[in-house]
Amino acid sequence: MMVFERSGGLAGVQEVWRFYEDGRVVKTERRGNATVEAQLSPDLVKDAVQRIVEEGFMDLADEYMPANRCCDRFTYRLTIAYAGTAKTVTTMDGAEWPPALVRALEVVNSLIGQATSGQ
């Protein structure tokens, strides 16, 4: 399972994307209402999690934050559950991201794009 949270920006966005092992995708927003429910291939979600893990996500620090945390920046929190272990990494726009985190966010954004392409 994978959970991606995005919050902040000028509009005060608060969204949570949950990607389940059966391929189900659920996005909830500030009020807890499901705004997107989609079905992806279970293999697509499994492969995405596998790629993120293989890129070194589980070895990342828990947090990557910029020196200046102000001014409408987005905060991102990604949790990966894999092989009985869960790892959460929190970061924010303006932080220096190691390659494993950059790749993980690319994979997640690709899945979000696929989940919303029929919306």
Q: What does the chain look like in DSSP terms, one character per residue?
A: -EEEEEEETTTTEEEEEEE-TTSEEEEEETTS-EEEEEE--HHHHHHHHHHHHHTTGGGS-SEE--S---SS-EEEEEEEEETTEEEEEEEETTS---HHHHHHHHHHHHHHHHHHTT-
Residue 31: predicted pLDDT = 67
The stretch 30-55 carries a mean pLDDT of 90
What is the predicted pLDDT for the residue at 119?
47
Interval 47-65 mean pLDDT? 97
Which of 3.40.190.170, 3.30.1540.20, 3.40.190.10, 3.30.1560.10 would CATH assign to domain 2-116?
A: 3.30.1560.10
Q: For residue range 38-47, list pLDDT tens digits in order.
A: 999 999 999 9
Specify the pTM: 0.91
